[in-house]
Structure 1
């Protein structure tokens, strides 16, 4: 439960609202298809409400659900308050400046990232997004996304850099654990000067922010549990009662995975990756050695 709704972000309100509505429906003994049939809604509308994926939630929709579920007056007031926040406040990625650069799936992910307490990220080809410099991001988009205009690239760069504010949140900064393939340190993205600045930035962030942990997966480790590709695992505060999720992204699409069994597999994989990777101190030494190579 959010104790101060007025200061809460829309993303956090959407997640809490979705969880509360899902619990109310289950307590009422109703299946999702029964609810949408009675309210003449599409199935996807209820799914988006319960997963917190709607940009804004109509208070009247929340009241209709509370009426059907038999929620008491206090619960109705709380959930309607959550809905009002989503209607009256905007998350930064909802602004017109960023909207063209954000797909619906990525928008859903940003809402989760903004409220997560911890992120575990394995990267095989890139520096993790939350550690990238502006020049490194720009170099990636100029090559990997050929055809984008400079204006479109600028939007993507701004989105990436703005996301990094999660590492320095005023209330509780994100706890970030990243494991990076050794190849990433030597891949000359943007040229030597860009790579030197990028590796210096990783070293500075890893050294100065106590909630950031960076490890390198060395070539000598051989086969490991991350060889199927990069992934991001998000965890949330226990009192939020929101289950961990996995985010996967490729050139053509992105996916948010919520299935408990599948998420467990990724959690086990990341534990294995961390165990096989170099420790933070030795990893920092490898980063600085790679910096000298550039």
Structure 2
């Protein structure tokens, strides 16, 4: 029976497809080994439209020769939570499919590298800054829609803050972004102070500032997010106003991983970034 291709089912399907391809099997070969009558069953599982039960999973893992306990545990969790409604489904009309996929992937990720020269990442935003960014984007026209999206962003922060194990986040922020008076000088000053607090008090957050003097740099092609997971391939996310591109092809991932490493080397170190953040906050007084 067909089921909704929830983000977790799609993630499970992508992991099983990766394992099958690493084994060098076609979908037909996998179906035969699993005892399915048709390759269509394997195709549906990999597409997230066929349920895999907790009872079926051990057989699948045995046939697919999955021995790594961490990967087995992660796949089991995806199966167990595949049909759960995600908390963001309460925000009807605010969360579209690409954003839902992104939120689900962030909740499953172990690490996040973020480069965005246009805005502070949502997980690092203050409420007032989030409101100013959302209003300024012109995506949402009505005040109630803006407020609804900001509430979503704040709940996402809380959800990630309560998560175990905690997400490791690494952000490179351009100096120009930090001096842009989003929401006015007071809002921006408090946002920078919030970044200082995260940089100095949160062991899971690394913040680097790319100063003006860095000149041309590896991030000039545009913003991107590099997600890593406890098991399975990394994912690169490139977001625009109404679309989100997710890539896990090894060549693409390696390209953006290199860009991330170059940005880290071109920016001030984590410790050296704090005095610049403090200077910017003082300039905004």
* TM-score, length of structure 2 as denominator length: 0.79
| Alignment counterpart, residue 218 of structure 1, candidates 193, 208, 211 | 211
Are 2:236 and 2:247, in contact at CA under 8 Å, matched by a contact in 1? yes
Alignment of 1:23-42 (within 5 A): 23=19, 29-31=25-27, 38=38
Where does structure 1 lack aligned partners over 5 or more consecutive residues?
Answer: 1-9, 73-77
1:160 deviates by 1.7
Are 1:233 and 1:245, in contact at CA under 8 Å, matched by a contact in 2? yes
Counterparts of 1:81 and 1:203, CA distance in 2: 35
Are 2:7 and 2:101, in contact at CA under 8 Å, matched by a contact in 1? no
Q: Number of residues paired by the alignment?
A: 269
Counterparts of 2:262 and 2:45, CA distance in 1: 37
Alignment of 1:142-291 (within 5 A): 142-145=135-138, 147-165=140-158, 168-237=161-230, 240=231, 242-291=232-281
Q: Flag the structure with higher helix content.
A: 1
1:226 deviates by 0.4
Tell me the secondary structure at the aligned position of residue 82 of structure 2.
helix
Q: Deviations over 1:174-209 (max 9, x none)?
A: 111100011011101001111111111111111111
Are 1:14 and 1:82, in contact at CA under 8 Å, matched by a contact in 2? no
Counterparts of 2:259 and 2:11, CA distance in 1: 26
* TM-score, length of structure 1 as denominator length: 0.77
1:264 deviates by 0.4
Counterparts of 2:17 and 2:164, CA distance in 1: 27
Counterparts of 2:146 and 2:77, CA distance in 1: 37
Tell me the secondary structure at the aligned position of residue 101 of structure 1.
coil
1:245 deviates by 0.5
| Alignment counterpart, residue 86 of structure 2, candidates 74, 88, 91 | 91
Match of 2:15 in 1: 19
Where does structure 2 lack aligned partners over 5 or more consecutive residues?
Answer: 1-5, 32-36, 65-72
Q: Quickly say closer, same or farther: Cα 1:123–1:146, change in 2 above 3 A.
A: closer
Q: Deviations over 1:213-263 (max 9, x none)?
A: 1000011011110011111100112xx2x1111111112321111111011
Q: CA RMSD for the aligned pairs?
A: 3.7
Counterparts of 1:249 and 1:13, CA distance in 2: 22
